[in-house]
């Protein structure tokens, strides 16, 4: 998969850089860069793709991405409505993958940091107490200066490195293939599905966007994402359903239709295939 390479300024090879995001809508295209990126979502919700992993995100989401993994964060369409007062707020920390390694000559520490960065190349989402502690540390960082900022950052990385409260995102088998011709093509399909998954997503329409036959499109999509187009669409829908299941005011039947499915049989089948449990079991586990 080719993503758009984004140059980041002013980060250099030797520094960490903290960016505070406060805008109406997250709409960056699918992209990658040579820095590690730690994202704390303070206020926002929508769809997130990291490598070949598809999921919903919401306020409090905390994700670390290693260098050169394609990713896209996009808010739900409600953010674009004329009367919307919603905002996208986040703190993003960029740092070179060898920043931590260059601080020491101790081989055990170097190996530990290399393993941590290698794991981050798949993308890592943190949760639980780790996320709560990290959020406070991250929100304090922009106010810190000089050595205090560096020590605060190192304490944050130590917390994340030692944590067991995380899940890796992209699959072990995922390998990004960067070719200029595919950049906009994959991004167009991602945006099309993100914008339409609650209603009708057509294989023929997706293929037409790229001026391909349906068969050629399916081969192209699977070659660059390591999954079928139908699997991708269902992951997008089920990710949305998981978010709705947090809200007990929605029935399972309502969530089925709000997530783009036309009947409960298909919804239950795809939900269990992707989440390894039924929607009812998923909701029960959420509210234990």
pLDDT at 176 over 90: no
SS3 250: coil
CATH number of the CATH domain containing 83 = 2.60.120.10
Contact 148, 29 (CB under 8 A): no
pLDDT at 5 (0 to 100) = 41
pLDDT at 72 (0 to 100) = 92
Q: Indicate whether 156 and 208 sit together in one domain.
A: no
List the one residue out of 56, 57, 53 whose CA is nearest residue 69.
53
Average pLDDT, the chain: 89
Kindly state the helix (H) or strand (E) to which residue 71 belongs, with its residue range.
strand 71-75
pLDDT at 178 (0 to 100) = 55
Q: Indicate whether 240 and 273 sit together in one domain.
A: yes
CATH number of the CATH domain containing 226 = 1.10.10.60
Q: Report the range of poorest mean pLDDT among 10-24, 117-131, 170-184.
A: 170-184
Residue 228 lies in a domain: yes
Q: Indicate whether 236 and 270 sit together in one domain.
A: yes
SS3 139: helix
CB-CB neighbours of 215 under 10 Å? 10
Which domain covers residue 242, as residue numbers?
Answer: 181-286
Residue 174 lies in a domain: no
pLDDT at 274 over 80: yes
Residue 175 lies in a domain: no
pLDDT at 180 over 80: no
Using the 3D structure, point to which of 127, 142, 168 is the last residue of a domain: 168
Residue 192 lies in a domain: yes
Q: Indicate whether 42 and 153 sit together in one domain.
A: yes
- pLDDT tens by residue, 113-167: 899 998 999 999 999 999 999 999 999 999 988 889 989 999 999 999 999 999 9
Prediction pTM value = 0.82
Number of domains in the chain: 2
Q: Indicate whether 149 and 254 sit together in one domain.
A: no
Partners of 95 in the β-ladder? 36
């Amino acid at each position: 998969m080719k993503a758009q390479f984004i140059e980041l300024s002013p980060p250099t090879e030797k520094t960490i850089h903290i960016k505070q995001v406060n805008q109406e809508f997250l709409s960056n295209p699918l992209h990658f860069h040579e820095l590690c990126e730690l994202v704390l979502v303070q206020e926002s919700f929508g769809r997130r793709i990291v490598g070949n992993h598809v999921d919903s995100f919401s306020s409090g989401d905390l994700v670390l991405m290693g260098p050169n993994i394609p990713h896209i964060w996009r808010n739900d369409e409600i953010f674009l409505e004329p009367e919307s007062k919603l905002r996208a707020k986040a703190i993003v920390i960029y740092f070179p993958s060898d920043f931590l390694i260059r601080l020491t000559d101790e081989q055990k520490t170097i190996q530990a940091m290399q393993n941590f960065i290698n794991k981050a190349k798949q993308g890592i989402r943190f949760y639980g107490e780790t996320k709560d502690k990290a959020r406070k540390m991250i929100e304090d960082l922009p106010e810190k200066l000089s050595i205090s900022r560096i020590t605060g950052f190192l304490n944050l990385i130590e917390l994340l490195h030692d944590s067991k409260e995380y899940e890796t995102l992209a699959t072990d088998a995922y390998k990004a293939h960067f070719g200029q011709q595919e950049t906009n093509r994959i991004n167009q399909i991602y945006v099309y599905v993100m914008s339409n998954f609650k209603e009708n997503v057509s294989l023929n329409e997706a293929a037409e966007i790229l001026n391909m036959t349906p068969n050629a499109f399916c081969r192209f999509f699977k070659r660059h994402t390591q999954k079928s187009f139908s699997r991708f669409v269902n992951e997008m829908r089920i990710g949305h359903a998981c978010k709705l299941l947090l809200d007990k005011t929605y029935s399972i039947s309502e969530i089925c239709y709000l997530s783009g499915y036309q009947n409960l049989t298909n919804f239950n089948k795809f939900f269990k295939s992707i989440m390894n449990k039924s929607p009812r079991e998923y909701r029960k586990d959420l509210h234990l």
